[in-house]
């Protein structure tokens, strides 16, 4: 199955953290696809939080989504993320499963599609760069259409940089 992953960092060398995550994801799928990096304002973070670097990826994954989530969380912790943390706390690396083909999954640990992705420019704009025609359950149109709608609404800045 094709799985979309959101990548983000707002602590330390943010571009390096994303580069390390890309290398790690390519270890799972050498044909993984990645968007450009985007500079984004922190959303829902503590006052004074640094801006984020965000990116989207799409990988081919044949295992369970629970295993993928666990491996992603293990990798985040290897990059310094605390196992117990506050909501939207600053972090060197944040990885989120955004979608898995056209599946809808809701377990104690996994909710796919990601429940807040459709309202976040920092997710939808990078994702539209790599899969604009993809349809994801719960989105009113394609990824590209959703990204254009969010961009037209304004809100937090999201600038393609690399």
pTM across the whole model:
0.92
Per-residue pLDDT of the chain (162 residues; tens, 9 = 90+): 999 999 999 989 999 999 999 999 999 999 999 999 999 888 777 888 888 999 999 999 999 999 999 999 999 999 987 765 566 677 889 999 999 999 999 998 899 999 889 888 999 999 999 999 999 998 889 999 999 998 888 777 789 997
Cα–Cα distance, 158 to 162 (Å, whole number): 12
- Which residues, other chains included, contact 62 with Cβ-Cβ below 8 Å and sequence gap of 6+? 1
Helix (H, G, I), strand (E, B) or coil at 66: helix
In the chain the domains, ranked by start, together with CATH numbers, are 2-160 (3.30.70.560)
Q: What angle do CA 12, 17, 21 make, to 5 degrees?
A: 160
| Token pair 């994303």 in the structure block, residue | 18
């Amino acid at each position: 199955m094709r799985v979309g992953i959101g990548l983000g960092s707002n602590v330390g060398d943010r571009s390096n953290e994303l580069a390390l995550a890309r290398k790690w994801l390519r270890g799972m799928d050498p044909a993984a696809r990645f968007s450009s990096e985007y500079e984004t304002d922190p959303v829902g973070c503590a006052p004074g939080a640094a801006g984020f670097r965000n990116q989207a990826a799409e990988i081919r994954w044949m295992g369970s989504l629970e295993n993928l989530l666990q491996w992603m969380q293990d990798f985040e912790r290897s990059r310094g993320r605390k196992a117990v943390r506050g909501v939207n706390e600053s972090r060197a690396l944040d990885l989120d499963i955004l979608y898995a083909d056209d599946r809808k999954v809701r377990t104690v640990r996994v909710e796919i599609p990601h429940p807040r992705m459709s309202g976040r420019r920092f997710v939808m704009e990078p994702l539209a760069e790599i899969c604009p025609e993809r349809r994801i359950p719960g989105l009113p149109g394609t990824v590209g259409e959703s990204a254009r709608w969010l961009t037209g609404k304004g809100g937090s800045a999201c600038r393609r940089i690399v």
